[in-house]
């Protein structure tokens, strides 16, 4: 079927579905689509999805909550691949109590990478990826096994999620960063865990989280 003209709202839906799929590895729900494009009524979202399916832009399986996929031509797939960027996986980062560096060593091959859409990051320079271990950042939607894409930087603003190196302990961890009265508070996003206070001189910021790639459970 020849594809028809999209409304602005439907085009926004297609763009969101593509970005969500590229970032998470699975399609969004109707509610997530509605929130992304500013539609509060799931019936209105469903109406537009039905139009997209009728015009040949998506396929749907109404038996499951994430039962949709984009229908793309070979040309569109080739164009999408050209817009992918490859980010090296540098190792693991522990979202837990700080972990001593030898214990944090990862067995990733030097050429192991993660591929993401260029549309998901504003600037593809100075990026690296780390696999998360631990659950101290679960309320920030960062779970054990997820991949965090980091931008290399040595400074951080209060409230940014960063990977830090603790000089006095030879340890590393992933936490929210706050400077307070000459010290740094490393704040977990888990109500069962307490913050960690460290002298500012002992903290080296290694990078800031710019994207989380969710890993599907087996």
Annotated active-site positions, please? 136, 175
Structure tokens at 68: 């949709």
Element (H, E) at 33: helix 30-37
Q: Calculate the dihedral angle through the C-alpha atoms of 39, 44, 45, 51, rounding to the nearest 10 degrees.
A: -140
Q: CB-based burial of residue 79 (10 Å sphere; 0-12 exposed, 13-18 middle, 19+ buried)?
A: exposed
Angle between helices 8-24 and 30-37 (to 10 degrees): 120
- In the block, residue with structure tokens 């996929």: 69
Q: How far apart are CA 3 and CA 71, in angstroms?
A: 10
> In this structure, what DSSP letter does residue 103 have?
H
3-state helix, strand, coil in the chain (%, to 5): 30, 35, 40
- In the block, residue with structure tokens 């969004």: 28
């Amino acid at each position: 079927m020849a594809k028809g003209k999209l409304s602005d709202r439907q085009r926004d839906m297609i763009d969101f579905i593509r970005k969500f799929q590229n970032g998470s590895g699975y399609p969004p729900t109707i509610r997530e689509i509605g929130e992304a494009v500013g539609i509060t009524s799931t019936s209105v979202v469903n109406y537009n999805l039905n139009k997209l399916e009728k015009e040949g832009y998506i396929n749907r399986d109404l038996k499951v909550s994430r039962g949709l996929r984009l229908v793309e031509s070979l040309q569109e797939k080739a164009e999408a691949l050209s817009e992918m960027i490859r980010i090296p996986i540098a190792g693991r980062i522990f979202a837990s109590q700080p972990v001593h560096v030898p214990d944090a060593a990862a067995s990733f091959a030097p050429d192991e990478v993660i591929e993401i859409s260029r549309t998901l990051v504003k600037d593809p320079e100075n990026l690296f990826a780390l696999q998360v271990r631990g659950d101290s950042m679960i309320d920030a939607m960062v779970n054990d096994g997820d991949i965090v894409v980091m931008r290399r930087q040595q400074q951080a603003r209060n409230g940014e999620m960063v990977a830090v190196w603790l000089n006095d302990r030879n340890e590393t961890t992933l936490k929210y960063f706050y400077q307070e009265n000459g010290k740094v508070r490393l704040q977990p996003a888990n109500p069962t865990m307490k913050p960690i206070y460290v002298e500012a001189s002992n903290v080296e910021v290694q990078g800031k989280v710019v994207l989380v790639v969710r890993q599907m459970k087996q």
